[in-house]
Amino acid sequence: MRHFAVLLFLLSSFVSFSQEKNVKGVVYSELSYTPEGKVSVINLSNLKASKTSDDGTFTILAKVNDTLHISADGFRALKIKVTNDWFKENVVKIYIKDTSTVLDEVVINTLKLTGILAVDTKLIALADYPYYRDLSSTGYSVAYNTGLNPINGIYNAIKRNNKDRKKIETIRKEVELIEIMKTKFDRETVSALLNISKEEIVKVLQRCNQSERFIYTANDYQIFNAVNECYESYKLAQ
């Protein structure tokens, strides 16, 4: 009878650990102790996304051991594990650290028009376009010949891990997550979702002949698509 009770307890514990529920939290600034609105909260395990309201509160679907990625402009990104305590408490308080950026020098680039209508029209059109792709290179074959190609790491990791491939497909279906990524420009979200560093993201896009302007000005969803487009093209070349 005692063994049956232990088995029943273990079974109920497993069910509670694997069951997804809505968890609530409040995000505060660690510096001012004030609630922070418009903070992105992404569950990296099930890819559900949420944003804090003006009073810092959020609700998101999660289960025990899921990882939440929390980020906002002007604050350091934070990853936290969902514990069993989250389901026992009504609201969990989360504190994020402020980060400041000092600009040593600001350079404002102005258009240098030539006075030739045909040329100046193209210059103005390029300046108005939010990003562009450099198509001057012949393509992927040259970049792929080197053993130091950073795409190798992404390709091999995703090739080995079927879960990652499914994750990428799921991201493209999560409307709320996509909308959050469209408002992000710091690469924190892409880095967390693809499990690669921001430096690796830059190297991959450079290898795939993306322009510097695109790499540093596109939003995170555009970057996410560009990295995966690069991966797909590389996969076809293998």
Give the side-chain half-sphere CA count within 13 A for 144: 15
Determine which helix (DSSP H) or strand (DSSP E) holds 25, and give its type and residue range.
Answer: strand 21-29
Q: Which of 21-25, 86-90, 155-159, 204-208 has the lowest mean pLDDT?
A: 155-159
Instruction: Please report, as a single letter, which amino acid is at residue 235.
Output: K
Measured in whole angstroms, how far is the alpha carbon of residue 118 from the centre of its chain? 40
Residue 167: Cβ within 10 Å count? 18
Determine which helix (DSSP H) or strand (DSSP E) holds 70, and give its type and residue range.
Answer: strand 67-71
Residue 29: Cβ within 10 Å count? 18
Give me the domains of the chain, ranges plus CATH numbers.
12-96 (2.60.40.1120), 117-237 (no CATH)
Q: Give per-residue pLDDT as tens, 93-126.
A: 999 999 864 444 444 455 555 555 555 554 555 4
Using a 10 angstrom Cβ sphere, with 0-12 exposed, 13-18 middle and 19 or more buried, the burial of residue 36 is buried
Q: Give per-residue pLDDT as tens, 29-84.
A: 999 999 999 999 999 999 999 999 999 999 999 999 999 999 999 999 999 999 99
Residue 139 CA to residue 64 CA, distance in Å, equals 45
